[in-house]
């Protein structure tokens, strides 16, 4: 661990609010991928509705979690770790892809999911895995325990 660890500023009981909120977009974006796969196999239109709601709620929660994460990151010690900038940029890209994906899912019928929406859902989940790994590494290396 670093000599000068990052201390979360936005926290409740020492637990970063960002860490409390990130499971929501993770579950929603993963659920959207699963409902897209189910729609591609069944063509039951209700699965696209599930995907749209999961993407919208996941994006909303990602923005809220991102704001709290940004507060923690920018209020930390300088210089900030480069892994944090990669995590921030990757999550910004992830949210942009999720937004485009939500707009694609708003189209009518089969083309709202197959193939573009499904591909965007896969990209979203893949980005989420990468940025989640970066966030975990940053927390493991740079975020210290409460004094």
Per-residue model confidence as pLDDT tens digits over 118-130: 999 999 999 999 9
The answer, yes or no, to whether residue 97 has pLDDT greater than 60, is yes
CA 43 to chain centre: 27
The pLDDT assigned to 144 comes to 56
| Residue closest to 125 by CA, chosen among 94, 79, 80 | 94
* CA separation for the pair 109, 96 (Å, rounded): 23
pTM for the full predicted model: 0.90
What is the pLDDT of the chain when averaged over all its residues?
A: 91
**CB–CB of 32/55 below 8 Å?**
yes
The answer, yes or no, to whether residue 146 has pLDDT greater than 50, is no
Work out the percent of the chain whose per-residue pLDDT is above 70.
Answer: 93
What are the CA-CA distances from residue 126 to residues 21, 29, 45, 75 (Å)? Answer: 19, 10, 25, 29
The pLDDT assigned to 8 comes to 83
pLDDT band per the 50, 70, 90 thresholds, residue 141? confident
């Amino acid at each position: 661990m670093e000599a000068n660890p990052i201390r979360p500023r936005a926290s409740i009981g020492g637990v970063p609010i960002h860490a409390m909120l990130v499971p929501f977009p993770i579950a929603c974006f993963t659920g959207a991928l699963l409902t897209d796969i189910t729609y591609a196999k069944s063509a039951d239109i209700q699965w696209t509705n599930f995907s749209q709601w999961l993407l919208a709620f996941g994006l909303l929660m990602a923005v809220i979690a991102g704001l709290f994460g940004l507060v923690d990151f920018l209020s930390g010690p300088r210089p900030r770790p480069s892994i944090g900038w990669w995590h921030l940029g990757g999550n910004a890209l992830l949210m942009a892809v999720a937004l485009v994906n939500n707009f694609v899912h708003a189209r009518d019928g089969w083309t709202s999911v197959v193939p573009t929406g499904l591909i965007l859902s896969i990209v979203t989940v893949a980005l989420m895995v990468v940025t989640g790994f970066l966030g975990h590494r940053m927390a493991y290396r740079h975020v210290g325990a409460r004094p």
